[in-house]
Amino acid sequence: METQLSGRGLYWKQLKGEMDRISDVSIGPLRDSKYIQCYQVSYKQNGKQRYWDCLRQHDSVGILIYNVTRQALVVVTQFRPAVYMSSNRPVWENSEIFTSGSLNMKADKGSESQVGPESDATAPKYGPSSEGMTYELCAGIVDKDIPLAEIAREEVQEETGYQVKTENLQYITSFWSNIGTAGSKQSLFYCEVTDDMIVGSGGGNQHEGEMIDVLDIPISTIDEFIVDESKKKSMGLCFGFSWFAKNVLPKQKNGQ
């Protein structure tokens, strides 16, 4: 089974080439972040003192997009550093920065207590960039005080280039992710698009460093795609595809 470029071929081929160029990988303590914060919860459960390490991060929206023209679900793919590092865990997990506990120290601006970079002949040798490429639904964080459907509409156009109206976004449900560490909430929407609704190249917000490719997954292959372990994918995507197979695909087959 092969995924397909979504109609802006030359742009996406060039973008994919840029995403493939991963180098100078290094690891260091967490610097000040506008996306996550680490904290520890202290509480008593049945009278016993307990502690839990947590992350504070934004809630998000996800959008399941069905292109009626192409009979395909629209997904995004991008390089995810956390997935890349997890895939390369044997390379770095026994390095001094972890065994010494220096990752638990707050990073000063300009500090360089790191593992790497890869160009150093003595540094760990990481795998190809493909080990960090993931398939996901179009999505975005909730960092604005506006309706969730409006955030979803903005993300659809920003990431995939399709222009949709908020009234055409169907709310499906919400669920909790990263429940062991963050407990963040994602609200899932569904919309249908056509090729006539493409108004831009998509690709994400380059000012925020996003580099996103857009792919079409033919609806005839979604069951196979969900269980294809060679494609690293989010649980939100798997749930969205399963919802589509149960709630929309039967109507398509019946011509409704």
Q: Residue 193 is part of a domain; what is its CATH number?
A: 3.90.79.10
Name the pLDDT band for 158 (thresholds 50, 70, 90). very high
Q: What is the mean pLDDT of the chain?
A: 85
Read off the pLDDT of each residue in 204-231 and give the average, rounded to a whole number: 86
**Quick one: pLDDT at residue 111?**
47
Q: How many domains does the chain have?
A: 1
User: Which amino acid appears at position 7 of this protein?
Assistant: G
Q: What is the pLDDT of residue 82?
A: 94
Alpha helices in 161-215 (DSSP H): none
Structural domain contains residue 107: no
Does residue 37 fall inside a structural domain? no
pLDDT at 23: 83
User: Does residue 74 lie in a domain region?
Assistant: yes
Mean pLDDT of all residues in 32-37: 88
- Using the predicted structure, report yes or no on whether residue 32 has a pLDDT greater than 80: yes
Is 36 a domain residue? no
DSSP 168: G
CB atoms within 10 A of CB 232: 19
Domain membership flag for residue 119: no
**Is the predicted pLDDT of residue 13 greater than 70, yes or no?**
no
In a domain, 52, yes or no: no
Helix, strand, or coil (residue 96) = helix
Six-digit token string for 250 = 């039967």
Of all residues in the chain, the percent with pLDDT exceeding 90 is 62
Q: Is there a domain that residue 117 lies in?
A: no
Looking at the chain, list the stretches that DSSP marks H as alpha helix, in order from N- to C-terminal side: 9-19, 81-87, 89-92, 96-99, 148-160, 222-226, 235-247, 249-253
Domain range for 164 is 4-26+58-89+129-253
Residue at 48 is within a domain: no
